[in-house]
Structure 1
């Protein structure tokens, strides 16, 4: 873990003491720390992150009541600024084309996989470029297909590659980058019929729904869904529910309000997937704050009136869930048994969740360590030991780390229990049993 990240975590831990010392001067500093944690969790350039952190420290050191405490922390963690890492930048992609792709295709010459992502969203419309087809504002539920190309050669498993000025890349290259190529809207009936026909022609009649987290654009949500489907070698059809995240680290509380507002829309989307498209099983991967919509929806799933031939819930994956741990435990008792298996990935090194605990005052369900959530009916996996990069264990580790992607492949595609999966070993005791990655 970098010195920058350790220093940031130390300041977050000192939050209650700094609040007492600074009184009414504290809120702006708390907001800035939260923003820095969000930037760190999204893998921002470490040099830029350290520059912002240094400016914050200078101001804190000038606050007499906090000077000694902050200086002591800096002395304990003194370290040179980290080296500059890659900075990514979006290139322009093709103008809007309504996709006619309804099944994945592979270019054998280049290894590029082009995959349809069937989306539902409650974002407001933006302009007609794929990257901004939907914006951060709330809208009405709508449906369609997005076309994503994913390179399988020259890209490490889990990489969500984009053009980088550091490598003198100023436009998207399908042989190197995961690209949102096009977005097209469909009415609800057309969406259901198109997805139903596509699924009937698939090798596997299951669907995988991805629900993204806080601070995510529609473009990046679609790209992540496509990358996950390709890296997991999922043979069914890939769906995305993209709620109206503001995609701004400064608007965490805005996203909190929006995910609650989106819950009913996601419930309707999940019911559509279960009851109207002819699926065999419906698997769900939810990340970060997106878990709130999923978990709160599952609370009432047993009361739904679905068709007799409705699909079953297969694998439910809660990846780094940003939800109150005690609330998760309450809800887990209600959705127990609703799916074939429920899995929770947690980490003690997830800076975004530590920032969320800093804001809310209580542990999050995606934390590990002493706060690790272990509850009957849920397989808890401590991912803290997974190899890390950049400024630490990124909040998006679930989709980026080979070991975790391999484990999710064993879970979703091979349908294996934890004790059958090679990378996992049992931990804890008979009362508090969980799983961790082999050293």
Structure 2
């Protein structure tokens, strides 16, 4: 009998004791064990089965009531050292700390590996990093995604991936932005891991990225890692990935889901503010993801945060796909909630023009006559960033060098618009905004 099968059988035998120890937390583990047993019975590849079993052990080691029992089992079964070394004890709370909790640069290849600390309310997919989470709704869960970003041969803002017309049929870390692994953590383990990582960082701030419509977990994590590298962010990067269906035909499904997701994002934001030793919390929200952020900011001033909680730093509304009039209403309520609020808009964002067609009213991310200018928010018209015939993509916030440079000056340098070289004042005394210099 293989070591993997022996370990699986031993865990199944421990089921009744684990059920007593974990109570209501046990059923998901029991279901996963049953699924592993089914896969073993069908003769699945031992390597894949062992990988899934190791991940299950790691999660069980993050459950304080079960730690002693699982550690004893690992000793008896001679479990891999790699798993044993992921366990640390902090004040009686066990946490599973993935290897990738600090950024790392391979000097030989120039590839930067970034830990993206995520919160998501997506349902679980399979074990592959690219499909670890799907597009269905689940419960709020936490973990760390390991994202590698090449710095050589990649233009600033480029989210590179394999291209069939270049005869690239698999990801290459030297060329492409890749999600190398996804490691789930319990909430307690997530807090301890992020706190430890922040303590070792050059900057104790965190940057939360919230993606938009039609985005997979994989692409959201890739974008978060790319932003961290291209913005030279010295703190720690977080991702809130709501359960986008990642299907262009399911726009209304995503609209319903982003509203459902708001409470989960609020809980994630409060965790970042209150529990991990953060200096400041910065947020970049894109497209439809702005709805969860903006509807949360409406309530920020009513929160009863503990003494010593972090402050909101830079909040960036990138191409927000939210009703412009609704944005104006809510802006009056969240004015002053952060060090600075910035809105990037464009008159050439085709996705927002399509959204306007669907809804019948302008979106807050539009420019031109519909440009949103409100007190307390710095509005930046990005329409002139790209003069090509193709125009601006909806994801221009993370792709255009001038916008990335501006966000760097905003987040890293804390510069006001009139201090940022690429910007010039526009409008008038009543409706003052900023645009990029031609």
Match of 1:250, SS state, is coil
Within 5 A, what are the aligned runs for 1:274-293?
A: 274-293=273-292
Within 5 A, what are the aligned runs for 1:36-47?
A: none
Tell me how far apart the structure 1 counterparts of residues 111 and 126 of structure 2 sit (CA, whole Å). 27
Q: Quote the residue 1:297 is aligned against.
A: 296
CA, structure 1 residues 390+285, in 2 after alignment: closer, same or farther (shift >3 Å)? farther
**How far did residue 388 of structure 1 move?**
5.4
Q: Quote the residue 2:147 is aligned against.
A: 148
Q: Quote the residue 2:319 is aligned against.
A: 320
Tell me how far apart the structure 2 counterparts of residues 200 and 281 of structure 1 sit (CA, whole Å). 13
Structure possessing the higher relative contact order (Cα contacts under 8 Å, 6 or more residues apart): 1
Tell me how far apart the structure 2 counterparts of residues 320 and 433 of structure 1 sit (CA, whole Å). 19
2:182 aligned with 1:183: yes
Deviates more, 1:301-310 or 1:136-145: 301-310
Tell me how far apart the structure 2 counterparts of residues 392 and 385 of structure 1 sit (CA, whole Å). 9
Tell me how far apart the structure 2 counterparts of residues 269 and 339 of structure 1 sit (CA, whole Å). 17
Structure 1 segments (4+ residues) deviating >2 Å: 95-99, 388-392
2:271 aligned with 1:250: no
Q: Quote the residue 1:353 is aligned against.
A: 352
**How far did residue 391 of structure 1 move?**
3.6
Equivalenced residues, count: 345
Q: Quote the residue 1:19 is aligned against.
A: none
Deviates more, 1:364-373 or 1:304-313: 304-313
Tell me how far apart the structure 2 counterparts of residues 150 and 389 of structure 1 sit (CA, whole Å). 27
Q: Which has the larger radius of gyration?
A: 2
Tell me how far apart the structure 1 counterparts of residues 351 and 206 of structure 2 sit (CA, whole Å). 29
Q: Quote the residue 2:391 is aligned against.
A: 392
**How far did residue 389 of structure 1 move?**
5.7
**How far did residue 307 of structure 1 move?**
1.3
Match of 1:169, SS state, is coil
Q: Quote the residue 1:52 is aligned against.
A: none
Q: Quote the residue 1:427 is aligned against.
A: 426
Tell me how far apart the structure 1 counterparts of residues 260 and 411 of structure 2 sit (CA, whole Å). 29
**How far did residue 387 of structure 1 move?**
1.5
Q: Quote the residue 1:102 is aligned against.
A: 101
**How far did residue 306 of structure 1 move?**
1.1
2:211 aligned with 1:212: yes
Tell me how far apart the structure 2 counterparts of residues 111 and 242 of structure 1 sit (CA, whole Å). 28
**How far did residue 100 of structure 1 move?**
1.6
Deviations along 1:372-423, whole A, 9 cap, x unmatched? 0000000000000011568431000000000000000000011000000010
Tell me how far apart the structure 2 counterparts of residues 288 and 392 of structure 1 sit (CA, whole Å). 17
Q: Quote the residue 2:72 is aligned against.
A: none
Tell me how far apart the structure 2 counterparts of residues 307 and 287 of structure 1 sit (CA, whole Å). 29
Root mean square deviation, CA, Å: 1.1
CA, structure 1 residues 390+167, in 2 after alignment: closer, same or farther (shift >3 Å)? farther
Tell me how far apart the structure 2 counterparts of residues 341 and 128 of structure 1 sit (CA, whole Å). 40
CA, structure 1 residues 100+410, in 2 after alignment: closer, same or farther (shift >3 Å)? same
Q: Quote the residue 2:117 is aligned against.
A: 118
How does the TM-score come out when normalised to structure 2? Answer: 0.78
Structure 1: give runs of 5+ residues left out of the alignment: 1-94
CA, structure 1 residues 153+199, in 2 after alignment: closer, same or farther (shift >3 Å)? same
Tell me how far apart the structure 1 counterparts of residues 241 and 339 of structure 2 sit (CA, whole Å). 24
Deviations along 1:163-192, whole A, 9 cap, x unmatched? 011111111111110000000100000000
CA, structure 1 residues 389+180, in 2 after alignment: closer, same or farther (shift >3 Å)? farther
2:307 aligned with 1:308: yes
**How far did residue 221 of structure 1 move?**
0.1
2:273 aligned with 1:266: no
Q: Quote the residue 2:230 is aligned against.
A: 231
Tell me how far apart the structure 2 counterparts of residues 260 and 391 of structure 1 sit (CA, whole Å). 32
Tell me how far apart the structure 1 counterparts of residues 271 and 285 of structure 2 sit (CA, whole Å). 17
Deviations along 1:214-269, whole A, 9 cap, x unmatched? 00000000000000000000000000000000000000000000000000000000
